[in-house]
Structure 1
Amino acid sequence: MAITTSPYHQTLPHLTKDNWRDHAADKRARQAALIPKEWRLSPETLDATGDDVTGVPKTCGILSERELEITELDEVEELAKRIAKKTYTAVEVATAFSKRAAIAQQLTNCLTEIFFSEAIQQATKLDEILEKTGKTVGPLHGVPVSLKDQFDVAGTESTMGYCSYLGRISTYDSALVRLLRDAGAVFHCRTNIPQTLMIGDVFNHLFGRCCNPHNRKLIPGGSSGGEGALIAMKGSIVGVGTDVGGSVRIPSAMCGLHTIRPTTRRLPYAGATTSLIGQKAVVCVAGPMARSLSSCAYFLRAVLNLNPANYDPTPLPFPFNDAAYTCTAKRVKLAFGIIRTDHNVTPTPPIKRALDLAAQKLVNAGHEVIEFDSVLLKDAFQLANDIFGADGGEDFKRALDPIGEPLIPGISPTQNSLKTVSEFWQLNYAKELVQQGFLAQWLATAEQTSTGRPIDGLLCPPAPVTAVLPGGNRHAGYTGMFNLLDVPVLCFPVTKVEPAVDSADPYFKPLNEEDRRFHDEYDPQLTAGMPVGIQLVGRRWQDEELLGLGEVVASIIGSKDWAE
């Protein structure tokens, strides 16, 4: 059957270059009206809040003690068990997380679409099913799941942060939304993103800027930064982000969360609104974000065991591999590689310290850490950027030009980067060569480790910086190189910034002018107390084995207790 519809949204005729700002303001007013009056913070509370607002939900008086108990849970599996046992009703849970999400929105601007009423209606049906049949709908029965503002939900407005998309009503559920519904999940909100998705921050002309709840002067990372802020505020127990250059890992690192960037073709993505439509050389993937790695594993198991290939033609039809997930824990000694620099931008002191701390704790636990030179990957992220810009900026222009919506700061126009078909094929071939070189380098570590095996995992910074001021997160090379390689990657917190020990290096020698700029901008007093994370990289397609390895590493380094 021929495809006759355009994959691009056509800007609706009521939006013009003269009135789009008015329509954006109207959208924000409609959004604010969806928060019930009794869930709104008082002017006195708002005036009294400081930079760190993570404690406000406990003290503002909006949540009952039972609702606080529900939303303080970090483990998805435990919440699902309590709903199944009728310790909590699905309605109680949906209401509690909706209230906390409302509080998070008022303090951080982390939401786009609000589905609080719909969530409670959906939860009511789930409670009725459980009461009538004695059985849950699926492994996520009654669990609230937040969605990055890319995942279409039938009957709701879907803008993806573009003012030019106002009035676009989804006519279907995206594939992952359909699967999660079948797993029993409840959707209570979608979360804020940057215009175009192609930046590690959250700002757009429609919903505005999202801030980091640990310090509202700073960014939450991006592009799944709305998810990062919401989950850090405990307005959601698990959320779905996407990652084409680090977009679940960067906000997780900056907000103190756990996540996995899966290998491509594991989770369904069809039907989701996205940018760079049709670009398949470096593929965007969906990934869970949560406050524990075990919650990410539970989520992934739930999704994979429902066979994503029945919802989307691209995923592999393989269930969660429990044998691979548990195999790492049986190994007496593990070996890890460590990447300390991407040879482009030097990690700031707290990032270096977190990496050293994780490595030392692993060695103290009887494992092995060897150096892994990343010089092969020095130009990997630039190669990815050449791929992203190969259309000469046509994707962005299609969205923005009809109403004259300007690009947000930090996004570089790519009209001079247009590639011919032959040039684009060469970029794909260059990617394959990097992938082959990386695999060979990984396998060659068997000659260096005392285990006689290649390294089990690879430790790496998630970014050169922790959460920073707007405009300060300009380098995604530490995450983006692994998107080019298409390997699974975890990210989790290790510690927090401590100005007394994270002072600037007096012997610093910059690699280049941008490296010098990052060094000069570093301010340990401004970022004091902010989470500091690391990445753990695995082999392609071995996502479950990486998750199991991550559970071992996270336990050794105490990732859930990073703030202490």
Structure 2
Amino acid sequence: MQQEAFIVVHEWLKQLWPEAEIDCHVVLALTCGSAAAFLALKWVSQKRIKKQIQDACKKRGHGLEKMEKAVQKFKQQNPSVQVAHILSLPLVELTEKLREESLSPESVLYAYMGKALTVNQEVNCVRHFIPECEQHLQKLKRHAEKGLLYGVPVSIKDHIGYKGHLSTCGFTVSLGILEEEDSVLVKVLKRQGANPFVITNVPQSLMTYDCSNPIFGQTANPLNHRKSPGGSSGGEGALIAGGGSILGFGTDVGGSIRLPSSFCGLCGLKPTGSRLSNLGVRGPVDGILSVTLSLGPMARDVDSLVLCMKALLCDDMFQLDPTVPPMLFNEEIYSSTAPLRIGYYDTDGYFLLPPCMRRAVHETRKLLQEAGHTLVHFTPPSVPYVMDELFIKGLFADGGSTLLAMFGKDIIDPSLKHQVNYLRIPNLVKKGLAKIIKPWFPRLANHLNALCGVRSVKSLWEQHDKVKAYCKKFVDEWRKCKLDVVLCPVLGPAFTLRYPGKLLAAVSSTMLYNVLNFPAGVVPVTTVTEDDEEELQQYQGQCGDPWDKKLKKAVEGTVGLPVAVQCVALPWQEELCLRFMKEVETLSCKRRGKTSI
């Protein structure tokens, strides 16, 4: 290898200075010296990164110790507080008790802080404690006016800005940058009486639906520690599912709210992109227009999401961010009992989901029909085209160069190496490989071509135009069927750790509604059964290719884990989406003999 490098350098220097006498020994010394300098620089860089990680982990540890001391101090001073009772209350009931002062904000905050510490010890979901929550609590008590979320402790995803804290996106390069002010979401939450108390973990880059980074490590699913909590809002999903938070906030650019909700058995809402402000939300790659980022809530039940949206859709939100349409929550639409005309499908024609996820759609369809709603089969048009030409090509329009530059300055998390290796392949090689594998692995071939990105600004404009054209086509199909909402599957059940990074393309069920910018929510309706596990053994998938085989392996061993469905409405119809979600939740709970919250 060294000899080859020496020959290349020698020939290059001869071409550069043909008249000069190039001494072979000088060239050899230069080559070896350059190689040694490169290795030395790399070693110094890696050492610096590891030191940054150690410092960040130490700071996080101090924060968690401070949190634990605060909880212990409160318990000693207030031994009669019924922590288990507080943690068992649904959000709507909790807020009522806080407003009528039968529960104190202190007892609720420290109850959730204590539970969050326990959950974090088990699954590593808390990135950092927000010590300012204790001071904010005192401010809340001095305010005469109590907001809709008065005294509610809430958790926020890593990159939702909180003044004086980090927004890392799982990268060490962000460890020295503190937020200068609160994001609009945090400002509105505070004005509505909520109290952000922890920041939750995310995967490195946010471009995956696992939850691991080289700084703070892997987050596990609290329902099964061998499984992923989903991502990229995986820390949120794990904390809420474990009982350490009653209301949390994530972001969604391909399923990052809905997938953790599906994997962890939660309710989650991805609103239309600008229904809630994302000002102050830092991303690893900004400026992507083909695929819409949404910020939204995650909780244990639909009523919590509804209360949250009522609180956030307020004058404070509209004044702090004038780009948010001044649309208050429409109670009339949400409370309507008129029968719905519901489209449904159990597969999108790109990735066939496991048997349990399709079973959930059909069982829910039957329940809705029995409740008096009209169900119409609906086929989403051209999903394979959307996946490659609109989603992947839009998300990686630069061929992944921006992300690769960030990974180049960092340690790559093991869960992402498979994904990063795809991005590292030169475009010419990607295209060549795509041609070779097309006959036996067409989905990967199309995926590789899409990862090449777009060639020029003109091509990018054309790509944006294709997104608009597809949205019109989809809405035309929707209106032709005279639909109010759509019921469809969501990826699940929870994947075994490390598998999400090997199957980015499996997010077709969720990414579709980021490209379309439709509101979409997830509701758990059942659990994986022994029969589902047996049927999985016969699963061949959409194409019978290596991706289908990986998907089968990823979801093995999930008996008892949650199974969810996805509920979709047209843009700006969050209230209708939530009404549909509530109907699904109520009917599913009745069938299981549970009380709908």
For normalisation by structure 2, the TM-score amounts to 0.81
Work out which of the residue numbers 272, 278, 281 in structure 1 matches 2:281: 272
Distance 1:563 1:214, change over 3 A: farther
Aligned to 2:477: 441
Aligned to 1:166: 175
- The answer to whether the 8 A contact 1:488-1:538 is kept is yes
Shift of 1:38: 9.5
Letter in 2 for 1:343: G
2:513 is the alignment partner of 1:482? yes
CA distance, structure 1, for counterparts of residue 321 and residue 89 of structure 2: 32
CA distance, structure 2, for counterparts of residue 560 and residue 153 of structure 1: 42
Aligned to 2:149: 140
2:93 is the alignment partner of 1:78? yes
- The answer to whether the 8 A contact 1:493-1:559 is kept is no
Aligned to 2:488: 460
Map of 1:2-17 to 2, 5 A cutoff?
16-17=45-46
CA distance, structure 2, for counterparts of residue 285 and residue 23 of structure 1: 31
Aligned to 2:407: 400
Aligned to 1:385: 392
Post-superposition CA distance 1:300-321 (Å, at most 9, x none): 1111123523122421122112
Aligned to 1:337: 343
CA distance, structure 2, for counterparts of residue 141 and residue 254 of structure 1: 29
Work out which of the residue numbers 14, 20, 34 in structure 1 matches 2:63: 34
- Helix, strand or coil at the partner of 1:34: helix
Shift of 1:184: 1.4
Normalized per residue, which structure has more helix? 2
- The answer to whether the 8 A contact 1:199-1:410 is kept is no
Work out which of the residue numbers 517, 523, 544 in structure 2 matches 1:492: 523
Aligned to 1:190: 199
2:419 is the alignment partner of 1:411? yes
Shift of 1:503: 1.7
Distance 1:38 1:266, change over 3 A: closer
Work out which of the residue numbers 532, 535, 552 in structure 2 matches 1:504: 535
Distance 1:428 1:248, change over 3 A: same
CA distance, structure 1, for counterparts of residue 527 and residue 380 of structure 2: 26
Aligned to 2:576: 545
Shift of 1:404: 5.9
Shift of 1:79: 1.6
- Helix, strand or coil at the partner of 2:248: strand
- Helix, strand or coil at the partner of 1:493: strand
Letter in 2 for 1:393: G
RMSD after superposition: 2.4
Distance 1:231 1:562, change over 3 A: farther
2:549 is the alignment partner of 1:517? yes
Map of 1:48-63 to 2, 5 A cutoff?
none
Give unpaired runs (5+ residues) of structure 1.
1-14, 41-61, 446-453
- The answer to whether the 8 A contact 1:261-1:489 is kept is yes
Shift of 1:264: 1.4
- The answer to whether the 8 A contact 2:487-2:566 is kept is yes
Distance 1:64 1:558, change over 3 A: farther
Aligned to 1:536: 567
CA distance, structure 2, for counterparts of residue 161 and residue 560 of structure 1: 41
- The answer to whether the 8 A contact 1:113-1:157 is kept is no
2:476 is the alignment partner of 1:469? no
CA distance, structure 1, for counterparts of residue 178 and residue 537 of structure 2: 55
**When the two structures are aligned, how many residues end up with a matched partner?**
509
Distance 1:533 1:392, change over 3 A: same
Distance 1:509 1:234, change over 3 A: closer
CA distance, structure 1, for counterparts of residue 222 and residue 79 of structure 2: 18
- Helix, strand or coil at the partner of 1:276: coil
Shift of 1:557: 1.7
Larger CA deviation: 281-290 vs 153-162 = 153-162
CA distance, structure 2, for counterparts of residue 114 and residue 38 of structure 1: 7
- The answer to whether the 8 A contact 2:499-2:554 is kept is no
- Helix, strand or coil at the partner of 2:279: coil
Letter in 2 for 1:434: Y
- Helix, strand or coil at the partner of 2:419: coil
Post-superposition CA distance 1:156-194 (Å, at most 9, x none): 233221111112111111111111111111011011111
- Helix, strand or coil at the partner of 2:127: strand
- The answer to whether the 8 A contact 1:112-1:189 is kept is yes
Work out which of the residue numbers 45, 48, 57 in structure 2 matches 1:19: 48
- The answer to whether the 8 A contact 1:91-1:124 is kept is no
Shift of 1:515: 5.0
CA distance, structure 1, for counterparts of residue 536 and residue 411 of structure 2: 45
2:107 is the alignment partner of 1:107? no
2:300 is the alignment partner of 1:291? yes
Work out which of the residue numbers 115, 123, 136 in structure 1 matches 2:137: 123
- The answer to whether the 8 A contact 2:530-2:559 is kept is yes
- The answer to whether the 8 A contact 1:338-1:458 is kept is yes
Give unpaired runs (5+ residues) of structure 2.
1-43, 70-77, 428-451
Letter in 1 for 2:142: E
- Helix, strand or coil at the partner of 1:355: helix
Larger CA deviation: 299-308 vs 288-297 = 299-308
Letter in 1 for 2:85: E
CA distance, structure 1, for counterparts of residue 171 and residue 359 of structure 2: 39
- The answer to whether the 8 A contact 2:249-2:297 is kept is yes
CA distance, structure 2, for counterparts of residue 84 and residue 114 of structure 1: 25
Shift of 1:390: 0.6
Letter in 2 for 1:353: R
Aligned to 2:370: 364
Distance 1:394 1:509, change over 3 A: closer
Aligned to 2:17: none
Q: Considering only CA atoms, is the larger Rg found in Structure 1 or Structure 2?
A: 2
Distance 1:366 1:398, change over 3 A: same
CA distance, structure 1, for counterparts of residue 155 and residue 116 of structure 2: 10
Aligned to 1:346: 352
CA distance, structure 2, for counterparts of residue 261 and residue 187 of structure 1: 20
Aligned to 2:187: 178
- The answer to whether the 8 A contact 1:263-1:541 is kept is yes
Aligned to 2:460: 424
Shift of 1:201: 0.8
Shift of 1:405: 5.2
CA distance, structure 1, for counterparts of residue 316 and residue 170 of structure 2: 30
Aligned to 2:257: 248
Larger CA deviation: 548-557 vs 245-254 = 548-557
Post-superposition CA distance 1:81-115 (Å, at most 9, x none): 21111111111111111111111111111011211
CA distance, structure 1, for counterparts of residue 276 and residue 114 of structure 2: 29
Distance 1:456 1:96, change over 3 A: same
Letter in 2 for 1:379: Y
Distance 1:554 1:231, change over 3 A: same
Letter in 1 for 2:64: I
